[in-house]
Chain A
């Protein structure tokens, strides 16, 4: 205990009695605006993959909301699906799937995301990992043939940039121009590589103050620095930073997956470390791992670091 004479004499923090002015920020508002930020990417997905994209994303959203409502009902809690968090999880999850995903695959994945990753840990705000990514990971382990975008999307002309790099080397990957990658003309999960649209959505979220710039900026910085190190070692084998930024779901991960509130740290230093480690992990998995697009597993891994990063605490207000 501090001695009485060291305590501040004048009050440091005065809190008036309620009612207080409310800034108007609510959970449902944030979730709704994040979903709106994803709409351009959904539109691009429909443009590239046709109505299959809409079918998968809509089914994923509906399943997530229904499962969440059923869960809350079963646990005798308030059925607060009107906070749109389940809808957003379903939307994010649908964006990661290939357009060819059969209905049962989408439903199982969305149910796993809500049941196992979210409600089992206590619902909104208590999930240690990003629910959409947990659903994606469970499906990737269970049905690799259906989740392998190259194998299940043979009917398209589009080319998967990250798996070109993985399986056919840098020359094959360089067949795709950077501009092509930027407008999303690359095979991937439905919405996960619509780089331009996602960038617009991400900047909207930043402008509205729903996400802090630290995580996305440091995530992208981590990707750039690690990719630059690899490229400087051997530029004939390893792709450069720009390719890693634009190919696959790097932008999606940086702005929408890594910034998920419950599974990312809150302190500024912690956010910087979290972003840097996540970003460098993406390139490391792409270079050494068996998965062509390292983003989902990189973010799941770095989510596991969050409790550790949360030990970095700010000095309490008024502490000496």
Chain B
């Protein structure tokens, strides 16, 4: 159980796909004009990622090593076609606004990356937890990026007007360059946050170890060795 929780939660922050692994950038940049587009794309990816991890993990022992990539792609492609048809049937407006990027989930690096790096080596229950976690992390990232771009670029959030009455939208943000600028700023902010946390952890660790001289010396010795 602990293993499942660990595999699920790592996708939410520690290895959140677009911002930490920097994988799956094509939909991250292309379909985040609005928060709801980002959310819809994320849901489609959760579906494909969890199921592809499940199937690949289940058949991992019978896939020959040499043709594994082709097998992964075939499995992902079948699932994507399913998603595409489901979206056409039930959420047609979303399908229209995502356009070509739904079929392109097949070649999304997150799908192949998790299949290769995790599902092909781990048992089914862990692979599903990993796929779900990564998918939820991906959805959160896309929704967040979409929300930021929508608030500044259109003055609304999930289609509801949120800025003041005289607000003139900063259209740059919903154009292509705005996506790159936003992604860069978010990546920078994540690195800044991590560096700050590490500094604080280090400082806290040193304070706690003041009584114990050996502890304080250990990092210094390590540094000398490396």
Residues of A within 8 A of B (CB): 104, 108, 116, 120, 138, 141-143, 146
Complex CA–CA separation, A138 to B170 (angstroms): 9
Chain B residues near A108 (CB-CB < 8 A): 170
| Minimum Cβ distance to chain B for residue A26 (Å) | 32
Point out the residues of chain B lying under 8 angstroms from A142, CB to CB: 169-173
* Residues of chain B whose beta carbon lies under 8 Å from any beta carbon of chain A: 168-173, 175, 177, 181, 184
**A141 and B175 contact, CB distance less than 8 A:** yes
Q: A140 → chain B, closest Cβ, in Å?
A: 9
CA–CA, A141 to B177, complex, Å?
10
Name the 9 nearest CB pairs between A and B, nearest first: A142-B172, A142-B171, A138-B172, A142-B170, A141-B172, A141-B175, A143-B168, A141-B171, A116-B181
Among the interface residues A104, A108, A141, which one has the most CB atoms of the partner chain B within 10 A? Answer: A141
Judge whether A143 and B171 touch: CB under 8 Å. Answer: yes
B172, chain A: closest CB distance, angstroms: 4
CA A310 – CA B184 in complex, angstroms?
27
Closest chain A residue to B170, Cβ basis: A142
Q: List 13 A-B contacts (CB under 8 A).
A: A104-B168, A108-B170, A141-B171, A141-B172, A141-B177, A142-B169, A142-B170, A142-B171, A142-B172, A142-B173, A143-B168, A143-B171, A146-B168
Q: Which residues of A lie under 8 Å from residue B171 when comparing CB positions?
A: 141-143
**For chain A, what secondary structure do more than half of its interface residues adopt (helix, strand, loop), or is it mixed?**
helix
What residue of chain B has the Cβ atom nearest to residue A146's Cβ?
B168
In the complex, which residues of chain A have a beta carbon less than 8 angstroms from the beta carbon of B173?
A: 142
Alpha-carbon distance between A77 and B70 when the two chains are bound, in angstroms: 51
Give the chain B neighbours of A143 by CB distance below 8 A: 168, 171
Nearest-CB residue, chain B, relative to A141: B172
Taking the closest CB of chain A, its distance from the CB of B102, in whole angstroms, is 27
Docked CA distance A141–B174 (Å): 10
* Shortest Cβ gap from A50 to chain B (Å): 24
B176 and chain A: residue at smallest CB distance:
A141
- Chain B residues in 8 Å Cβ range of A116: 181
Q: CA A178 – CA B174 in complex, angstroms?
A: 41
Chain B neighbourhood of A104, CB < 8 A: 168
6 more A-B residue pairs beyond the given contacts A116-B181, A143-B171, A146-B168, with a C-beta to C-beta distance below 8 A: A104-B168, A108-B170, A138-B177, A141-B177, A142-B169, A142-B171
Complexed CA–CA distance, A120 and B187 (Å): 13
Nearest to A104 among chain B residues (CB) is B168
**What CA separation (Å) do A143 and B167 show in the bound complex?**
12
Contacts of B181 on A, CB cut-off 8 Å? 116
Give the complex CA separation of A138 and B178 in angstroms: 9
Bound state CA distance, A146 and B169, in angstroms?
A: 12
Closest B residue to A112 using CB positions: B172
Nearest chain A CB to B182 CB, angstrom units: 11
Of listed B172, B181, B184, residue having the most chain A CB within 10 A:
B172
Distance between B135 CB and nearest chain A CB, rounded to angstroms: 32
CB-CB nearest in chain A for B173: A142
* Residues of chain A contacted by B175 (CB below 8 angstroms): 141
Q: Which B residue sits closest to A138, measured CB to CB?
A: B172
Give the docked Cα–Cα distance between A116 and B177 (Å).
Answer: 11
Give chain A nearest CB distance to B154 CB in angstroms. 11
Residues in B neighbouring A138, C-beta threshold 8 A? 172, 177
A146 vs B170: C-alpha distance when bound (angstroms): 12
Give Cα A89–Cα B197 distance, bound, in whole angstroms: 36
Inter-chain contacts of B168 with A (CB < 8 A)? 104, 143, 146
Contacts of B169 in A (CB 8 A): 142
Q: Which of A104, A138, A141, A142 has the most CB of B within 10 A?
A: A142
- Bound Cα distance from A120 to B181, whole angstroms: 10
A146 to B166, CA, bound (A): 14
Q: Which residues of chain A have C-beta atoms less than 8 A from B184's C-beta?
A: 120
